[in-house]
């Protein structure tokens, strides 16, 4: 299974995105928020640095959600029973997703503060 071609490895990764989309409601919700962020960028047309910040933020949220879902799946497979240590591990994983989601909200708020006013002015004139 080692040393597959680049196209095969990309296909595996895309299959991972599809599996997360099918199984995980949180991943779907976060993907819709990423789509909304893209829409905001298209509307506001900010300088390239904003595109980079929003892209990195969205990628971090989605990547962490993928890691969270993968680890939860693995944990449930290896140890389906209730255990306080598993609770702590899963809660920490959820905490990591919450932390980056708060950072994403801060980026969204900063973008809104910087550009909503300008867009409203454009509509008024």
Ligand X SMILES: Nc1ncnc2c1ncn2[C@@H]1O[C@H](COP(=O)(O)OP(=O)(O)OP(=O)(O)O)[C@@H](O)[C@H]1O
Residues that are catalytic? 65
Output 24 or 50, the one with its CB closest to ligand X.
24
CA atoms of 46 and 42, how far apart (whole Å): 8
Stretch that binds ligand X, among 30-38, 45-53, 78-86, 110-118 (CB under 6 A): 78-86
Asked if 30 and 62 touch (Cβ cutoff 8 Å), the reply is: yes
Binding to ligand X (CB under 6 A) within 15-34 occurs at 24, 26
Tokens, residue 71: 């680890």
Output 18 or 87, the one with its CB closest to ligand X.
87
Asked if 6 and 55 touch (Cβ cutoff 8 Å), the reply is: no
Binding pattern for the stretch 82-111 against ligand X, x by CB under 6 A and - elsewhere? xx--xx--xx--x-----------------
Distances from the Cα of 99 to the Cα of 64, 95, 119, angstroms: 10, 6, 30
Q: Is the C-alpha dihedral spanning 100, 106, 108, 114 positive or negative?
A: negative
* CB of 32 vs ligand X, minimal distance in Å: 15
Residues of this chain that interact with ligand X (CB under 6 A) are: 24, 26, 68-69, 72, 82-83, 86-87, 90-91, 94
């Amino acid at each position: 299974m080692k040393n597959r071609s680049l196209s095969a490895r990309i296909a595996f990764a895309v299959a991972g995105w599809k599996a997360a989309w099918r199984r995980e409601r949180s991943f779907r919700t976060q993907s819709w928020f990423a789509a909304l962020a893209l829409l905001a960028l298209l509307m506001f047309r900010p300088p390239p640095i904003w595109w980079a910040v929003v892209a990195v933020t969205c990628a971090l949220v989605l990547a962490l959600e993928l890691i969270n879902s993968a680890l939860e799946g693995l944990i449930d497979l290896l140890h389906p029973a209730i255990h306080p240590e598993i609770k702590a591990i899963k809660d920490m994983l959820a905490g990591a997703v919450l932390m980056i989601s708060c950072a994403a909200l801060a980026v969204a708020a900063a973008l809104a503060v910087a550009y909503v006013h300008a867009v409203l002015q454009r509509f008024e004139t």
